[in-house]
Structure 1
Amino acid sequence: MNPAVEVACFLLGFLGWILVGVALPNRYWKTSSVDGNVITSSTVYENLWLSCSTDATGVHNCREFPSLLSLSGYLQASRALMIAAIVMGTCGVLATLVGMRCSKAGGDNYVLKGRIAGLGGVFFLLQGLCTMISVSWYAFNITQEFFDPFYPGIKYEIGEGLYIGWCSGTLAICGGVCLLCACKTEDPDKLSYPYQAAMGTVYSVGSQKTPSNYDRNAYV
């Protein structure tokens, strides 16, 4: 595998992993403005953990969701998927660092290192899928409630946290797919070619016919 391709894939997956950590605690997964006069107008916004509001006077209040079991199913699933994405991304970063050819970890067995790098690509791909499913499912429920004329609650819009999540999932999927494709096209025989060439040289030297010092005059 080309070391430049390895580094590019690693950077894509690493940036996706960083953005997951940015998106998860972001408070603006969905936002809504409650209009009134200048004093009573406020902004309400939520994420996977908190519900917050800010009024025109600058007063800021947040409350945590009371119970995990009382939450809706998609919110619980989004939490689990985002946490799984962070775990998968961590495993992907570690595996790719060990499997990169420019890394000294894992020794000089490039076939094994290529397989470890491919495993890192799988982890990055899973991270991206978990992130995309989580934020897309959350956004689907926002739009469904927004366009439902009979929905009695506050109607929210998509916040910046979801856009960060989409960027994270896209980067992780691109990095994982590129890493897998690069490892798949690697020829194991090519990796072991220097060793085979060296063995062939030793064999040819060892099997070379040495001139005999004995001729017919040596026999009596």
Structure 2
Amino acid sequence: MATTGLQVLGLLLSLTGWAGGALVCAAPWWRVSAFAGDELVVSEVLWEGLWMTCLSQWGKVQCKVFDSGLALSGSAQLCRGLTVLSLLLCLLALPLAVAGLKCTHCLGDQQGPKASLVRAAAVLFVFAAVVFLLPITWTAYVVIRDFYDPNVAPPLKRELGPAIYLGWIVAVVMLVGGAVLYMGSTSTSAPPIISSSGRNNPEPATMEDKAAKAYV
């Protein structure tokens, strides 16, 4: 039978991952300027995200949104598209999960169709987690590759920002939430008890039945 507790827990984890994914998508903390080289300028820190860059100088932060999305590199545009796609998949899975929860009455008491809706929502959450994980991992790979590339000038080198680490955590939470939501919607029926003669065991006779047989 479908377990309400697992369904609610999986939905809460998925929603937590979705909210964290929206924060990671909007945050300008994907890449941070690296102090690589002989000259260290510790008073200025440059933060870069998918939508804006921020410059921290002597405790003051100034942010600027990218003027043109088409002027960005193909890698940055792909990361934008994948993160937005992941959030849209979660938005699509949310009403399906809520309508299919065992504790809701959107579809009455039809547990079969409701369980199918929850399983579909769980698959969407898991797929969204995988899609969200791709731009995070790719950005981390590019940052590490350029950092150790001697052909890249030191002022252009970057390090992993906190949004990358948070993105990995968000993807795992979303993935676990979808898996728990799916497990909570699976139906398992107890197997029938078979006697040694190969037939189903009859129900034990009650005291009234025994008394009636004795009277006859």
Q: Calculate the TM-score normalised by the size of structure 1.
A: 0.77
After superposition, where does 1:26-45 map in structure 2 within 5 Å? Answer: 26-32=27-33, 36=40, 41-45=43-47
Give 5+ residue unaligned stretches, structure 1: 191-220
Q: Check whether the contact 1:52–1:61 (CA below 8 A) recurs between aligned residues.
A: yes
The residue number in structure 2 matching 1:113 is 114
The residue number in structure 1 matching 2:168 is 166
The alpha carbon displacement at 1:85 in A equals 1.2
Q: Does 1:130 align with 2:131?
A: yes
After superposition, where does 1:47-126 map in structure 2 within 5 Å? Answer: 47-56=49-58, 58-126=59-127
Q: Check whether the contact 2:34–2:159 (CA below 8 A) recurs between aligned residues.
A: no
Q: Using the alignment, how far apart are the partners of 1:96 and 1:147 within structure 2?
A: 45
**Per-residue Cα deviation, 1:107-165 (whole angstroms, up to 9, x for no partner):** 21100000000011011112111111111111111111111111125211111111221
**Per-residue Cα deviation, 1:61-89 (whole angstroms, up to 9, x for no partner):** 32322322221111111111111111111
- What amino acid sits opposite 1:141 in the alignment? V
Q: Check whether the contact 1:33–1:42 (CA below 8 A) recurs between aligned residues.
A: no
Q: Using the alignment, how far apart are the partners of 2:166 and 2:41 within structure 1?
A: 32
Q: Check whether the contact 1:27–1:47 (CA below 8 A) recurs between aligned residues.
A: yes
Q: Calculate the TM-score normalised by the size of structure 2.
A: 0.79
Count of residue pairs brought into register by the alignment: 185
- What amino acid sits opposite 2:173 in the alignment? L
- What amino acid sits opposite 1:43 in the alignment? V
Q: Using the alignment, how far apart are the partners of 1:160 and 1:55 within structure 2?
A: 19
The alpha carbon displacement at 1:37 in A equals 6.4
Q: Check whether the contact 2:143–2:159 (CA below 8 A) recurs between aligned residues.
A: yes
Identity over aligned residues, as a percent? 25
Q: Using the alignment, how far apart are the partners of 1:37 and 1:79 within structure 2?
A: 30
2:7 is paired with a residue whose SS is helix
Q: Pick closer, same or farther for the CA change 1:37–1:51 going to 2, 3 Å.
A: closer
1:74 is paired with a residue whose SS is helix
The residue number in structure 2 matching 1:211 is none
Q: Using the alignment, how far apart are the partners of 2:135 and 2:99 within structure 1?
A: 29
- Greater Rg, structure 1 or structure 2? 1
Give 5+ residue unaligned stretches, structure 2: 191-216
1:61 is paired with a residue whose SS is strand
The alpha carbon displacement at 1:179 in A equals 2.3
